[in-house]
Amino acid sequence: MNSSLGRTISSKWIQFLHYFTRRARLVKKHNCVILAIIIIVLIFSLSRTDDIKDLFDLSESFGSDSYDSDLSSSDDITKLLPGSSDGHSDADWKSGAGSQTGATTVPAELKNFYNEVTRVLNTTVLAGEIDSHKPEGCDLKDTGVEDTDKEKLSHLTEEYLLKCLSLPEDKIKELKEGHSTFKRYISEKLMPIADSIKEKGIGYKGQGITIVGGGKYTLMALPTIKSIRMNSGVKLKNTLPIEIVIPPLDEGDRGVCETIIPSLDPTGLTKCVYLSDYIDRDILKHVRGYQLKSLSLLISSFEKTLLLDADNYVVNSIDKFFDTSIFKDTGMILWPDYWRRVHSPRVYDIADIGIDRRRVRFSADYISNPKLFDPTDASKSPFHDLEGAIPDGGTESGQLLVDKTMHLDTIILALYYNYNGPSYYYPLLGQHLAGEGDKDTFILAATALKHRYYQVRTPVKPQGYWGLNTNEVRIHDDKIDKVDSSKKSFRGTAMIQHDYVQDKELDSVAGDFLREVLQEKEKSFRLEWIKTHKDDFKDMNEQDALKKASENNEISNKFWESMKGKYTVNDFFSFFKMNTPVFVHSHLPKYDPWELAMSQDFMYDGKKSEKNPEYHPEEKGHFRIYSSTFKDMTNYDLELANWKVFETVLCKVEDNYKKFSYLSKVIDRTENPVQSVKEMCTYISERVEYLKSSTWENSIS
């Protein structure tokens, strides 16, 4: 074995060992697991280089942890992407090596179907709107899925939710008739056409990721593409196609699609698709931004697709996402929002969804026996804890996994809700609280059509940092406790969503454990009862006595009385704490290099810091937007990776910004575009240098 090869093998197994050591620490496994890994790696270190490579490749399916000393030291984004041996030169960025050109040829029958769907939708838009004025006596507030505050929960009852939204009976009747008519049109007219198209083999095929682009979202999608190619898993990262859907008003982004994206993703599996190739322009002129997500799902070529927001980044493996039994059974996977649902009970009447007024769960906990809950009375319980209502928490639509063979009608019905969203369905679903919009339309459509789905139980977690209230400048971790609580607040910059595959496994574990614990408690209670009521169980063995006790209503009632006040929903949620984070939906603010550069956000001494005249920066330069715990979730330095993309795409080739319709408009409107680009690129390059200096050991970007 030559010394170079020896160093390679040694480096690989040390890095591999580091990965598993870190994972073992995260999941708090016993040290023997680490010892076993050491032995395995030592054996492989004596084997062929190919064996080491196989072992190394296998590790990538567990997350984003991969190691290559040549790549990790490179500043060129193209060298960091799978399938690129030496990257692309600046000439490639200019010429568009491997560029994507020309309009997509869409089969006539398929285009006619899309036109028919959107044409009909344009005719379904209802006149008027819901009165946005909050009636007197309504104090509805956001309530977290883990919140147990009785006063807050009392505002989620059916009675309370009804009084917070005013809707005349004649309008309810009109909405109900419109909903029923459109549902019937889907089943009797649209789905037979879709079935015919499928039989001819010109419908949806394969699996892939769909991202809505256009304007600033095309720019923001570039780091998302990189995160997918870096972290989606050994099986998918080089094989999973990506479609960026471009709305008609943003077709000025063709330069990005034809030159920049092929250089950014040398696999050749990422392409732009233009809505105007699929739907006639005269129909599209009525489309609004809040309808684009559902429309993109409709026209994307994939049968099974993961819909991602352009600012939602993959940070660990999604290798198993398309192949699980729960996805095959339900065809739709959704992820939760922070808050409990506040849907008006009226929306269930309108959508003809029956509610059985029995309390069957507490928030997302459907496992624990309802007799444990307080209150058990349906009229005093949160409405969405009742049988038939959509379970908590609310849905967050930054990511959605769907099989269109099973849920095409769901997507079309969700489009109907979005076409009538701002005027009716958004306030019906969100009651003007946080995040009101399209996020709950998919789950409502699936419920109205009686389709199955699976929503992740693991609560979404915030990422961000503690900052000063006056200018949001970051407070150093070691000084947070020293700053008065009235002068600081947590700035949530991202939402962390988790692995649905692990979630389903943890859900099964939680069910088995919680039911077993309750059975053991009930058995112990009966045994104690038998001991104190011996005369009632004379001459009986333990088994017979327990059988008799289980049939005694008095004993059962006494047991449930003894359990009052002992339930906590955290017993359920605690099972999901070790679930692996998969998505970082970094949306507050979004990664917009122009806006962030102009505001000089995330700097100790930037323009934004000057909002507080009494603030005197103790240091200069940039700070990170995520907490120090971010590195425990993934080895992917998301901040550094994203800003390196912007540096390569916008600052290494003169006037490359002009290929982006969004940047071209905002920069060319400034007094001195050349100086504006220089300021933007100075911010970007300085941020990259800071992030390089503050990254953690064995990170990748």
Q: Please spell the DSSP secondary structure of 175-216, one letter per residue.
A: HHHHHHHHHHHIIIIIHHHHHHHHHTT-S--SEEEEEE-STH
Please say whether the beta carbons of 595 and 588 come within 8 A.
no
Please state the domain count of the chain. 3
292 and 270 in a single domain? The answer is yes
Residue position matching structure tokens 């280089």: 49
Residue 159's region, left for phi above 0, alpha for psi from -120 to 50, else beta, is: alpha
Between residues 613 and 499, which one has the greater pLDDT? Answer: 499
CA atoms within 13 A on the CB side of 24: 16
pLDDT at residue 375, as a whole number:
87
pLDDT digits (tens, 9 = 90+) for 182-225: 999 999 999 999 999 999 999 999 999 999 999 999 999 999 99
198 and 341 in a single domain? The answer is yes
Domain span at 29: 3-62
Last residue of a domain, one of 62, 77, 112: 62
pLDDT at residue 52, as a whole number:
31
Residue 193 lies in a domain: yes
Residue 662 lies in a domain: no
194 and 298 in a single domain? The answer is no
Q: Return the number of other C-beta atoms located less than 10 Å from residue 671's C-beta.
A: 6
Q: For the chain, give the mean pLDDT.
A: 87
pLDDT digits (tens, 9 = 90+) for 248-279: 988 899 999 999 999 999 999 999 999 999 99
pLDDT digits (tens, 9 = 90+) for 44-73: 444 433 333 333 333 333 333 333 333 333
Between residues 52 and 671, which one has the greater pLDDT? Answer: 671
344 and 436 in a single domain? The answer is yes
Last residue of a domain, one of 42, 62, 82: 62
pLDDT at residue 131, as a whole number:
86
281 and 360 in a single domain? The answer is no
Alpha carbons 71 and 73: distance in angstroms, whole number: 5
Alpha carbons 179 and 428: distance in angstroms, whole number: 14
Residue 75 lies in a domain: no
Q: For the CA atoms of the chain, what is the radius of gyration?
A: 28
Alpha carbons 392 and 366: distance in angstroms, whole number: 10
| C-alpha 322, offset from chain centre | 16
304 and 347 in a single domain? The answer is no
**Nearest to residue 479, comparing CAs of 609, 587, 604?**
604
pLDDT at residue 596, as a whole number:
98
Three-state secondary structure call for residue 395: strand
The encoded tokens of residue 569 equal 């929903």
pLDDT at residue 135, as a whole number:
87
Please say whether the beta carbons of 344 and 165 come within 8 A.
yes
Q: Is the dihedral of CA 116, 117, 119, 124 positive or negative?
A: positive
Query: Across the strands, what pairs with 466?
Result: 490
**Which range has the worst mean pLDDT, 126-130, 133-137, 411-415, 606-610?**
133-137
Residue 217 lies in a domain: yes
pLDDT at residue 10, as a whole number:
40
pLDDT at residue 346, as a whole number:
97
* DSSP type of residue 98: T
368 and 296 in a single domain? The answer is no
pLDDT digits (tens, 9 = 90+) for 126-182: 999 998 888 888 999 999 999 999 999 999 999 999 999 989 999 999 999 999 999
Give the phi and the psi of residue 523 in degrees, each rounded to 5. -65, -45
Between residues 50 and 358, which one has the greater pLDDT? Answer: 358
pLDDT at residue 102, as a whole number:
53
pLDDT digits (tens, 9 = 90+) for 555-571: 999 999 999 999 999 99
pLDDT at residue 115, as a whole number:
96
> The CATH number of the domain where 275 resides is what?
3.40.50
194 and 211 in a single domain? The answer is no
169 and 144 in a single domain? The answer is yes
Kind plus residue range of the DSSP H or E element containing 357: strand 356-359
pLDDT at residue 99, as a whole number:
46
217 and 244 in a single domain? The answer is yes
Query: Across the strands, what pairs with 460?
Result: none
Last residue of a domain, one of 47, 62, 77: 62
For range 314-335, the mean pLDDT? 98
447 and 344 in a single domain? The answer is yes
The encoded tokens of residue 548 equal 């008799």
Residue 360 lies in a domain: yes
Alpha carbons 109 and 197: distance in angstroms, whole number: 7
What percentage of the chain carries pLDDT values higher than 70?
85
The encoded tokens of residue 636 equal 């992917």
Please say whether the beta carbons of 405 and 332 come within 8 A.
no
What percentage of the chain carries pLDDT values higher than 90?
79
Residue 627 lies in a domain: no
The amino acid that residue 246 corresponds to is I
Please say whether the beta carbons of 52 and 44 come within 8 A.
yes
Helix pair 108-123, 292-299: axis angle to 10 deg: 160
For range 235-239, the mean pLDDT? 96
The encoded tokens of residue 429 equal 């679903």
- DSSP H helices, 30-168, are 31-45, 49-59, 69-72, 90-95, 108-123, 150-154, 158-163
Residue 414 lies in a domain: yes
Between residues 595 and 82, which one has the greater pLDDT? Answer: 595
For range 102-119, the mean pLDDT? 89
For range 406-426, the mean pLDDT? 97
pLDDT at 448 over 90: yes
197 and 346 in a single domain? The answer is yes
pLDDT at residue 288, as a whole number:
87
Residue 397 lies in a domain: no
pTM (2 d.p.): 0.85
Q: Return the number of other C-beta atoms located less than 10 Å from residue 77's C-beta.
A: 24
**Which range has the worst mean pLDDT, 46-50, 354-358, 456-460?**
46-50
